[in-house]
Chain A
């Protein structure tokens, strides 16, 4: 505690400042507590309860039944595994592609770097839904791509891979996310002192070794931010699978959605949500540990 802070608890004038501070944060505080903290905690509680399907009254508490439902039903486990797999795949491919583009912009382009950077964000001025819609039309057994290929006589029948399925979900999520990830990676690449790279080559390292031993490690903060950016929304995704996933591309988020909005089984849905939250927390903790919270916030 520095002397200035110590003073806070003493003189009447700074008491006033403290009061003003509290008054100013009260609305935000309340908002966060009422619309975020309490609801999330109540979902946590709900996941250990059994609700009456109609009245929503608590029938029994605590119970692990909701979690058992999840882990004993093979269908659910498959969806969970698919979600994890898809999330990891999307994270790798979108971060990888974003890294390539960011690297290209940083080191291969000399003029108008920032214009190019900005251009990559432009399609998303529109909206997420618009991009999904575009992909919906492009993909599908009789979508734009398949029908174009067939009318040109390149394939005799529709390419199944380009139908509405898990592959499409992966493709669409990668395509939607990677442009957002270019910026944080670009920032951390741009920060690297060029003389370090020259020094490395001067010491006899090949360009590839230089990349592996110098450039890449130094750009890791940006990469971690990018991973965080794409991982969290992807693992909770339910909109893209609903639009381009067909029946085989559904994700865990769709299950939660159905339990809450279609089946009205809040208790089971809550257990699913808590599982998802645990995975997210775990991932965030691992990332934070890897790089340190401070550094991560810095590169945000």
Chain B
């Protein structure tokens, strides 16, 4: 596999603020690669270093194997879709898309052809003469993406491009982006703080927190096998249980034993368990479940596809349970006594 972008121990400091702290990762050719993390964790800074608008304080960045130190943004084989899009308001759609090609002195008929192709790619044919102010949010988004793509960059960088869109448009654009990615095959580096977006679209995800890389993996690995408390909680939320390990189970104060899969973690005395809300079942009676506890519903939110419950357990800890509305008999009321339970393989040990 060819590596398109590689960061080696990259650090960026603004005075005393360390925005990016010793970050290393490699992006393979053709990957849809996501940088995921909460606001202010250094995603934009990382992206701006790759595109050349910031210089790393330490470490080095390679694109297509070449070191990028001292290469200005306009000479890098990357193109960036800005967080605020940055479409040129004084040019129409055509001139915006043609901007990069004209700089490169591509012949005018070739420009015509490529812009047309691009507008077809994002299903906006005939939009050439539109002014930027006459576009809807979703249309602007697409124009911004093809304005970058038309230059056939080795790597396309996207900085939270779906941020300002409403939920429905966002879901549409996610599908659209995946399709575009499939059709052009370019390497994408995608920045987002939305785990849903990252999980749906990516081949690989880097989770960042406070400037540091906390985990790299496929969406499945990140979701199912979080390596830290932060990742477990940040990706989809979770329920934590802490207790002492004694043969095959974790003893939680006031709650009892939670049986877990026998694994390699047994050397530790206290263990932290993470149980995802949708892996927990809830009911008056539960069968064929490894761990069952009594609880009381304190809140319930009906959300159409699912119902989210807050359940108070006997050790006074509040857990979140997401139950599918499919096959459900009824919504449990507040104060109602219920049983909650999960299987051993769904309780993940966090190291």
Contacts and interface: CB of A to CB of B under 8 A. Distances in A.
Interface in A1-57: 3-4, 6-7, 10-11, 13
B14 A7 contact: yes
Contacts of A4: 14-15
- Chain B interface, DSSP helix/strand/loop, else mixed: loop
B162 to A, nearest CB: 28
B14 A13 contact: no
Interface string B28-67: 0000000000000000000000000001010000000000
A3 B14 contact: yes
Contacts of B15: 3-4, 6-7, 10
B17 A13 contact: no
B16 interface: yes
Q: Name which of B14, B16, B17, B57 has the most chain A CB atoms within 10 A of its CB.
A: B14
A7 B45 CA distance: 15
Contacts of B57: 11
User: Interface residues of A toward B: which range?
Assistant: under 10
Contacts of B55: 11, 13
Most buried by A among B14, B15, B57: B15
Interface in B12-31: 14-17
Contacts of B14: 3-4, 6-7
A13 B55 CA distance: 8
Interface string B170-203: 0000000000000000000000000000000000
Contacts of A11: 55, 57
A103 B81 CA distance: 50
A13 B16 CA distance: 17
**Per DSSP, are chain A's interface residues mostly helix, strand or loop, or mixed?**
helix
A6 B14 CA distance: 8
Nearest to A1: B15
A285 to B, nearest CB: 37
A183 B223 CA distance: 62
Contacts of A7: 14-15
A23 B14 CA distance: 25
B42 to A, nearest CB: 14
A13 B15 CA distance: 13
Nearest to B57: A11
Nearest to B15: A6
Contacts of B16: 3, 6
A9 to B, nearest CB: 9
A277 B17 CA distance: 48
Interface in A179-226: none
Nearest to A6: B15
B18 to A, nearest CB: 11
B188 to A, nearest CB: 28
A234 to B, nearest CB: 43
A90 B57 CA distance: 62
Interface string B238-274: 0000000000000000000000000000000000000
A13 to B, nearest CB: 6
A3 B55 CA distance: 17
A50 B48 CA distance: 65
Nearest to B16: A3
A3 B17 CA distance: 7
Interface string A165-187: 00000000000000000000000
A79 B14 CA distance: 61
Contacts of A6: 14-16
A7 B19 CA distance: 13
B317 to A, nearest CB: 39
A10 B15 CA distance: 7
A277 to B, nearest CB: 43
Nearest to A9: B15
B305 to A, nearest CB: 44
Contacts of B17: 3
Nearest to B54: A13
B157 to A, nearest CB: 20
Given A6-B16, A11-B57, 8 more contacts: A3-B14, A3-B16, A4-B14, A4-B15, A6-B14, A6-B15, A7-B14, A10-B15
Interface of B: 14-17, 55, 57
15 contacts: A3-B14, A3-B15, A3-B16, A3-B17, A4-B14, A4-B15, A6-B14, A6-B15, A6-B16, A7-B14, A7-B15, A10-B15, A11-B55, A11-B57, A13-B55
Interface of A: 3-4, 6-7, 10-11, 13
Q: Which 6 A-B pairs have the closest CB atoms?
A: A6-B15, A3-B15, A7-B15, A7-B14, A3-B17, A3-B14
